[in-house]
Amino acid sequence: MGSEHDETNCSSSDNNVLLSSNFALSSSLSSIITRGSIENSFFTIIDPTITNTTEIEEIVNIWVKKFKENPRTGTIKLFAVIINCFDVDVCEDAFIQFNCVQIFARINKCFETLTKTGSLISPEKVKKSIDVQKSLELFTAIFHYHSNLFFENDANKSYFIFLRDILTKISQSDFIGPRLLATSFGLKIVTGLIQSNNVELIKNDLDIFYTEFLIKRWKDTICIIREQVLLELIIWINIDSINFINDFWMYIYWALGDQSTSVQNIALKISNDILNMHSNIPKVKMLIKKIISVLANLLLSSNDGVVISALNLYSILPSVDEEDYMNKVESIALELIFSEKSKIARVAAKHFMNQMVNSQPNVLEQLKVLIVILEGVPLQIKLIASSFFVDAIYDLCPVLTDFKLISQLLSLDNLEDTEKHNLLILLMYVVKWLITGVKPEQKIAFMGDQNDIIQLHINTVEKIEYTTYMVIHLINQFKECDIPTHAFSLWILLQFIDFKLLQGSKIISDILDQGSLFYHTWNIPTILEMISKCLHIMTSNLEGSDQSLCLKFIKDIAQENINILKAEIENPTKNTSNILSQKNALIKIWSLAKYNFIPEDLEPLKYLSYYVTNLNNNSPTNIIVSEFALSAFMEVFRRTILNVPTNIQNNVYFEQSENIVENTYITFLNAMLITSSKYDPQMINICETAFLIVDDLLRIRFNIDNTNYLLDDDQNIKLNEFIFSLCHNCEYNDDLNILRLVEIFIQLIQDGLIEINHLITLLQFVKKELIEYALGPVFNYFCKKETGDQLSDVINLYLVYMYENIISQKSNFKNYTLKDLTDVATIITRILCQCTDQIGKRLVSTNIHRHGIQYAMNDSLSNPYSEYPFKQFFWILVSMCDILIPYDAQRLASDFISKPATQELINADNEYVLGYLYKLLELYDTQKS
């Protein structure tokens, strides 16, 4: 920022004598003495007796004495304090007269020199330096208690004008750190002056300070300077609230719309303080109207701090006649309760509870307000919105865990069905949190995840109370249940019932009747899965006839749906309704088998095998294809063939077992590999399901007998075909599903269940940010002393594989260039640089370069002009030098140069060899310098 006004002389007209030649602020670097070389106190420039422990009050008294003895010397010493803050020392006899134009010119040249050497004071140092802050405190104290010294006569006044004008010029300089520091001094002088007894006498001088250090600096392009102006304004308002609010309230409003969120945060704090403590000041009403006009935008800010501060400000706003603005603000504030950012949601919820819930006449009305809030949420996002809502209000709203009260509310005749549904959706998360301690899951699509029914830390008392008051209401709700979200919440809520309390009661058969009705009439996978989980919990907790009733229910449902498959297999038809029946039967068998054992005498695997692609060669051509068929076969296979149960968390636990049907295992594994390899965007769910089953099968085998199932070459090819197609079709870097599948693939490698060479497939797509992100952890895992050789071998194989295909321009690589490969090599280097094991990193990096050199030197001197361009491979190695430490670079260079073949290539000016050597030596020279 250039000078904003031109003052040819900042003091009286006769003060035009040039600076003495011994002025220490010379533009010569040699004449600059940095503060780092001064061992005494920062303020020894005022008096040599001042130490680091001298209090500000005592320093002020020493300076006052100096000023009274000789105002000129006192001013020089005060100015020297300013100069010292710039890390520059100045001699006491630096000048004869006070010409701020020439002094500023010299200072500015110093700034230029310090900038070149990287020593110029930064805004961060201005903020953090204890010496700088103490100097600012000194100026405030001097002008607070002793400003009268500068106004005793015209000569002393000229010294005051000099300090003001030199600070003004520095505050307009091009250098941000000095600009901030000068502005800070100017503002602190104002802070001192407005607390002095001379305010009325120096009003004109204050106006100049306001103009230069508040009004002009408020327009500064650097936000940290605008911040400083606002922070000082807070102090001024605390000193004289009426005058400063009335005079400068518009600056607070403008700051609320500043481009800098840090400035906005400060403005919000000032606004909050004003509304809390100074609401009776006339101009505050105008400020409130302006705040309301911008508050909606602040609530929509991408900065969490701004949003939270805006919410806090909104919560204390008085009632005003700005209905349009306020309606918009209230709407946004209410929506923020559903924010995925929990800090914001909880602040919004606190305001909501105070204003809309706690103000109700009784607790029943409070509950009604809570459920009415969900009315405006679209049905398709109601579940996830409710999870955020409960997360925000749980600690603020004890009525949501008062099951006796809730049961009374559900009994009311005037409560609409939709209101009951909304209440049950909220309860789904509340009950889970209360009984198990598990907070609402944000990934509501996976509500069936094991976390939903983990009961390792059961709150038994709450579970008993919940069962006592709520179970009848839940059963009654089934009579009115025709909305999926309603059904979903009911079956979730039933999972937390204490079924042992219901042993022998009719409620057990009522629940099973409802389960049977749902299995006959509903086909939504997630709801059927919830019913299956509930059945599993009932079977595990009940005994005797009740448990037998549950097992019979499971068998009957399984039998009914297996019969549908059996009929179609034995008597194939092309009837559309039969195709739909088969799809639904597969969903129901899968959901049932996921958590429950289907009796072997029903032969589920026999009939499911017809629906598993590539498994049964005799499958009728009209048998439908469904990912649920694959999953159902997998679940039944897990329990029936391998006889391996899962616990309530759906984790598998295995003991040594000999009853593995090897042929079935291999046949099913091959079928899934083939299915996944035939990647088709139209059949993506089938392919992904098959891959997940491959992962499951490999882990089952290892957990049974602690040995890996070794994939043969054909199986490895099929697995690679899937991951290649998956990555090739990845268009977006935020595709979490693809990232999840890639991470599963990587975990197989990391766990040693498939070969590390599979990483080569992923490396072909490392330019995609998603793949680069996924490779980070596995690189870090293998980049160790014990496994570094494996990782470096894979990287070398990939680089050579790609290089040879690009050079030979094979059909699949015609669009690739060596530039593409160097870009990839750079990314690989970047990932390796992030690895944490330093020994492993050195091992991998040196291996890559040693093997790379060996490959690039394949065309020995006996055939130095081979047509195959091995030497161009050095380009690739150059792009991977950043991972080398200087010592290793020097060793590589020394070993390489010592070989006769290398010497001959150097003598022949081979550009590739020379370029690589220069890069290695450059790294070594960097360390030396």
Q: Is the pLDDT of residue 28 over 70?
A: no
Neighbouring CB atoms inside 10 A of 42's CB total 21
pLDDT of residue 866: 53
Count of C-beta atoms within a 10 Å radius of residue 73: 13
Q: What is the mean pLDDT of the chain?
A: 86
Distance CA 772, CA 830 (A): 9
pLDDT score of 15 more than 70: no
As a whole number of Å, the end-to-end CA separation of the chain is: 35
* The one-letter amino acid at 721: E
- pLDDT tier, 193 (very low <50, low <70, confident <90, very high otherwise): very high
Looking at per-residue pLDDT, the higher value among 482 and 447 belongs to 482
Tokens found for residue 167: 């600070």
CA 852 remoteness from chain centre: 38
Q: Is 252 left (phi over 0), alpha (psi -120 to 50) or beta?
A: alpha
Three-state DSSP at 646 gives: strand
User: pLDDT at position 457, please?
Assistant: 56
Is the pLDDT score of 865 beyond 70? no
Residue 321 pLDDT more than 80? no
Segment 144-168 shows an average pLDDT of 95
Burial label, 202 (beta-carbon count in 10 A; 0-12, 13-18, 19+) = buried
Contacts of 490 (CB under 8 A, 6+ apart): 424, 474, 477, 478, 481
What sign does the dihedral 56-58-62-65 (CA atoms) show? positive
For residue range 198-239, what is the model confidence (pLDDT) as tens digits?
888 899 999 999 999 999 999 999 999 999 999 999 999 999
Assigned token pair, 375: 């009315």
Provide the 8-state DSSP code for 98: -
Residue 652 in 3-state DSSP?
strand
**Residue 650 CB neighbours (<10 A):** 15
Task: Please give the DSSP secondary-structure letter assigned to residue 417.
Answer: H
Phi, psi angle pair for 703, to nearest 5°: -70, -20
Cα 435 from Cα 445, distance rounded (Å): 22
pLDDT score recorded for residue 573: 81
Average pLDDT over residues 688-692: 96
DSSP 3-state of 231: helix
Q: Over range 67-74, report the average pLDDT.
A: 94
CB 901 within 8 A of CB 860: yes
Tell me the one-letter amino acid at 796. N
Nearest to 184 by CA among 211, 144, 219, 224: 224
pLDDT band at 734 (very low <50, low <70, confident <90, very high): low
Q: How far is CA 138 from CA 43, 44, 128, 143, 168, in A?
A: 10, 14, 16, 9, 19
DSSP state of 869: -
CA distance 645 to 637: 11
| Half-sphere CA count of 923, side-chain side, radius 13 A | 21
Q: Collect all residues with Cβ–Cβ distance below 8 Å to 849 and sequence separation of at least 6.
A: 877, 880, 881, 884, 892
Percent of the chain with pLDDT over 70: 88
What confidence category does residue 575 fall into, taking pLDDT thresholds of 50, 70 and 90?
confident
Q: Is the pLDDT of residue 316 over 60?
A: yes
For residue 621, what pLDDT band results from cuts at 50, 70 and 90? low
Cβ(912)–Cβ(882) under 8 Å?
A: no
**What is the tens place of the pLDDT at every residue in 72-81?**
999 999 998 9
**Among 811, 880, 884, 897, residue whose Cα is nearest residue 846:** 884
pLDDT of 574: 75
pLDDT at position 680 is 84
CA 164, CA 106: separation in Å to the nearest integer?
A: 17
* Residue 444 pLDDT greater than 60, yes or no: no
| Beta-bridge mates of residue 226 | none
Angle at 222 between CA 221 and CA 224, to 5 degrees: 145
CA dist list (Å): 380 to 112, 421, 485, 747 = 62, 14, 9, 34
- When pLDDT is averaged across residues 362-374 and rounded to a whole number, the result is 89
CA distance 387 to 773: 29
On whether the CB atoms of residues 169 and 7 are closer than 8 A, the answer is yes
The pLDDT-based confidence of 641 (bands split at 50, 70, 90) is: low
225: amino acid identity, one letter: I
Taking the domains of the chain in order of start, what are their residue ranges? 258-359, 363-497, 783-929
Contacts of 313 (CB under 8 A, 6+ apart): 268, 271, 272, 275, 291, 295
CA pseudo-torsion sign 394, 399, 402, 408: negative
884 and 926 Cβ atoms separated by less than 8 Å: no
Window from 18-27, 202-211, 538-547 with minimum mean pLDDT? 18-27
How many whole angstroms separate alpha carbon 203 and alpha carbon 216?
A: 18
The conformation of residue 36, written as its DSSP 8-state character, comes to G
Average pLDDT, stretch 749-754?
Answer: 95
Average pLDDT over residues 598-627: 84
Q: Which amino acid would we find at residue 21?
A: S
Angle between helix 403-411 and 363-373 (nearest 10): 80
Residue 926 has pLDDT above 70, yes or no: no
11: closest CA among 159, 146, 121?
159
Q: Which pLDDT value is given to residue 440?
A: 78
When pLDDT is cut at 50, 70 and 90, the band that residue 701 belongs to is confident
Tell me the per-residue pLDDT of 99-123, one tens digit each, with 9 for 90 and over. Answer: 888 888 888 888 988 888 788 999 9
| pLDDT surpassing 50 at residue 248 | yes
| CA 201/CA 457 separation, integer angstroms | 73
What DSSP string describes 125-190?
HHHH-HHHHHHHHHHHHHHHHSGGGGGSSHHHHHHHHHHHHHHHHHHTSS-HHHHHHHHHHHHHHH
CA distance 286 to 679: 65
| Whole-angstrom distance, CA of residue 460 vs CA of residue 457 | 9
Opening angle at CA 293, ends 287 and 298, nearest 5: 100
Q: In whole angstroms, what is the distance from residue 673 CA to residue 5 CA?
A: 77
Q: What is the mean pLDDT of residues 236-251?
A: 94
Which candidate, 203, 272, 274, places its Cα nearest to that of 238?
274
